[in-house]
Amino acid sequence: MAEITLIEAITQALAYEMRVDENVVVLGEDIGTNGGVFRATLGLLQQFGPERVMDTPLAESMIAGAAIGMASQGLKPVAEFQFVGFIYPALDQLFSHAARMRNRTRGRLTCPMVARAPYGGGIHAPEHHSESPEALFSHIPGFKVVIPSSPARAYGLLLAAIRDPDPVIYLEPSRIYRLVKQEVPDDGHALPLGKCFVSREGHDVTLVSWGASLHETNKAANMLAKENIHAEVIDVATISPLDIDTILASVAKTGRCVVVHEAARNVGVGAEIAAQIMEKGILTLLAPVQRVTGYDITMPYPKMEHLYLPTEERIIDAVYTALEYK
């Protein structure tokens, strides 16, 4: 079996689900003829034709509105937004209609759509290409918010997102699209939404992260192991609904927690995780929860991205702060 990248795993998942379910359609800017800006939909137009692979105008509100209409009438649209920084014109449709469809109709209608978007920094692009607004979406009831961290997770989580009866915001960390390769069986096996994954066992400190930042987190765990500090690494994967039980179980074992994300610190998902640990697991804590995050500024332009994104060194410093707390 050939190893594939995260972006290839997304293509593989889309093609699989389109083969087995004729109600699955994809739409977005340049996703047909050009195969998408990152080539996530490459080859789908040739396989499934223009009735199921639809190029749209540069109109994000229209893309979201069309997807909601399709979803309410029995289709399963996967809408691509070229970058998450371009999704904001669609928020009225997504927040006011997609997220509320089940509640508004008392369950008579649901909205089985997926909104895909490349997100996050690290590709040396302008500011609207480098945003990390996962907290914005996770604050809205009615959405599931999913962020994969590897090719295998991307494949399994996207299949689950397409099969879910409610809207899923599927954020793809663009800086790891082609960072690593894995063997990913094209077997249609979905991974559960709403569940964290324990990526590494440990007993000294719990490191919680998701998306691209999981790679720096794992590197930090490897470096700490050389100092005989054994970190447990949790891949959150689904930001909303949050699987706090897996995190609490790990913190009960280690007594210390560091949350790592590249989004801005203020009102970030890390703050929610820290708050729930304090509310539900404070008696197991040996030190305050630490956060390693981006800064409360717009992502700086390309040459300064490395100063914004969390690094292994910042993660290790936070771990030592937790270990040395008295």
Examine the residue annotation and report whether 129 is marked as an active-site residue of this protein: yes
The pairing of beta strand 76-80 with beta strand 24-28: parallel
Whole-angstrom distance, CA of residue 77 vs CA of residue 82: 16
- Taking the CA atoms of 50, 55, 56 and 61 in sequence, report the sign of the dihedral they define: positive
CB count within 10 Å of CB 86 equals: 18
Using alpha carbons, select from 104, 98, 81, 107 the residue that is nearest to residue 167: 98
Label residues 166-197 b or e (16+ Cβ within 10 Å = b). bbbbbbbbbbbbeeeebebeeeeebbebebbb
Exactly one of 124, 128, 129, 230 is catalytic; name it.
Answer: 129
Label residues 287-299 b or e (16+ Cβ within 10 Å = b). bebbbbbbeeeeb
Catalogue the active-site residues: 129
